[in-house]
Amino acid sequence: MAELNSEFRGYRSPLSTRYASKEMQYLFSDQHKFSTWRKLWILLAKAEKALGLDITDAQIREMEGHVEDIDFKAAAAEEALTRHDVMAHVHVFAKQCPLAAPIIHLGATSCFVGDNTDLLILKEALDQLLPKLVGVIKQLSHFAMQYRDLPTLGFTHLQPAQLTTVGKRCSLWIQDLLMDERALRMCRDNLRFRGVKGTTGTQASFLQLFAGDGAKVRQLDQTVTKLAGFDRYYAVTGQTYSRKVDLEIVSALASLGATVHKMCSDLRLLASRKELEEPFEQTQIGSSAMPYKRNPMRSERCCALARHLITLQANAANTLAVQWLERTLDDSANRRLTLSEAFLSADACLLTLLNISQGLVVYPKVIERNIAQELPFMSTENVIMAMVKAGGDRQVCHEKIRVLSHEAGAQVKQHGKDNDLVERIRADPYFAPIIGQLSSILDPKTFTGRAADQVVEFVDEEVNPIVALYGDKVVTKSAQLNI
């Protein structure tokens, strides 16, 4: 029995078992990491051969035949002896490729495979996240357009304020997400390759390999960079590419986390008011003790993961700050955690947010009822203006409204009754000249300004061009959420 349950006897990250997509998990897997190391050794050999070093096609073919079949047990045994992960994999790869053994890792330092692999993974991870983010933006834009003119209470200080619309509020979430898309796209587009730089970034070992021919060393750097799928490399590095790169990317991801947390907090507040709900499955249980509960668990999950994501920015900043001179190794263990968890957390947030955005439920009657409790107070200035137009004295009218408002407020606060200010106005003979106008004066749509037009303009001018930029890459289908 113990043998059957062995997989449950060690720590397993919830990001893998519960939250993140299989595709994002694979990017940060050992299989992907170490097979990418081998691909980089092959690219290096091909470029060195093209520039005149004594490397044969047979050696390259031998390495290409063993890119994926990594002996992890043998590598672990080697690392236990050498205490060096890269050399452990060099030795294992060399045993699988005896013909190529003399030229594997030729002239390179550990960061040739370590850092360049990280940059390849960061690029792929950003390429996975961006279409999911734009998928959320696209889905929310449909929601915003659908409810662009549905009035709802606006809130400042979490107190009822001037009316807005459900769609306009959604457009505020989208605007933040657009800023995140821009930041992450800039990170991806600005990302460069480390290339072949040697132990302290001087390329001294490669200069020796090419007998002092600096032009060939530069060509080697350019060729490997192109073969790896990058257009540019960092012109100067220490032993590593600057950890400022990691900080920029993790900061952009943390900023996305803040956006997600803000939006999902809003959803939770609105769910509490029963105005709007996230999807709730037919067999879903909200509470083990309270069968009636419809807890916003998806939004809560997003907030929880986003909070973790936000904290990772400080880790990346501290890692950059403590890189002494050309490099220290105390970045290694931290980056193994920070980079993977930042992307896996962001991926999980977007997967959940896409699911939420495709199934948001609006309750117009509840919204209407909530408006009815507050709108009479908000409409008092309109009532005064109508009375003035009908020949009334503004100061007299103001005092009449003040008294009636306080009486209605007492009914709400002291007796728990509905707001009856409108009924009090109708019953007061003073307001007889405008009784016929009260319905139009109290129409919620007259209190939302240009909200509906703003949504249309925003979607047309700012959202649609970004969605079009990604074309058919946009992720629009919500995957089945894990537990």
- The reply to whether 376 and 421 lie within a common domain is yes
Phi and psi torsions of 130, nearest 5°: -60, -45
**Domain contains 389:** yes
**Poorest-confidence range of 111-125, 226-240, 395-409?**
395-409
Which pLDDT belongs to residue 350? 97
Whether this prediction's pTM lies above 0.75 is answered by yes
- Tell whether 48 and 134 lie within a shared domain: no
Distance between CA atoms of residues 178 and 180, nearest Å:
5
Please name the residues in contact with 11: beta carbons below 8 A apart, sequence gap of 6 or more: none
Q: Do the beta carbons of residue 241 and residue 119 sit within 8 Å? A: yes
User: Would 151 be classed as within a structural domain?
Assistant: yes
356 within domain boundaries = yes
* Domain annotation covers residue 52: yes
Name residue 256's amino acid.
Answer: L
Q: According to the model, what pLDDT value does residue 291 have?
A: 45
In a domain, 483, yes or no: no
Give catalytic residue positions.
157, 287
Q: Answer whether residue 7 is part of any domain.
A: no
Instruction: Return the SS3 of 159.
Output: strand
At residue 275, the pLDDT reads 96
pLDDT band at 380, cuts 50/70/90? confident
Confidence of residue 474 (pLDDT cuts 50, 70, 90): very high
Tell me the residue range of the domain where 438 lies.
366-446
Q: 90 and 146 share a domain?
A: no
Asked if residue 143 belongs to a domain, the reply is yes
CATH number (domain holding residue 67): 1.10.275.10
The encoded tokens of residue 132 equal: 């999911």
Q: What tens digit of pLDDT does each residue of 90-124 get?
A: 999 999 999 999 999 999 999 999 999 999 999 99
- H-type helices in 228-296, by residue range? 244-272
If we measure between CA atoms, which residue out of 202, 233, 239 comes closest to residue 324? 239
Q: Which of 105, 133, 132, 131 is nearest to 40 (CA)?
A: 105
Average pLDDT (217-229) is: 97
Same domain assignment for residues 57 and 161: no
**What is the Cα 360 distance to its own chain's centre?**
19
Question: How would you label 247-283 residue by residue, b for 16+ Cβ within 10 Å and e otherwise?
Answer: bbbbbbbbbbbbbbbebbebbbebbeeebbbbbeeee
In a domain, 480, yes or no: no
* Whether residue 292 has pLDDT greater than 60: no
Q: What is the pLDDT of residue 287?
A: 47
375 & 400 share domain: yes
- DSSP assigned state of 367: H
Tokens of 305: 């993961």
| Mean per-residue pLDDT of the chain | 91
- Nearest alpha-carbon partner for 119 in 293, 240, 19: 240
Counting the structural domains of the chain, the total is: 3
Burial class (CB in 10 A: 0-12, 13-18, 19+), 213: middle
pLDDT value at 369 more than 80: yes
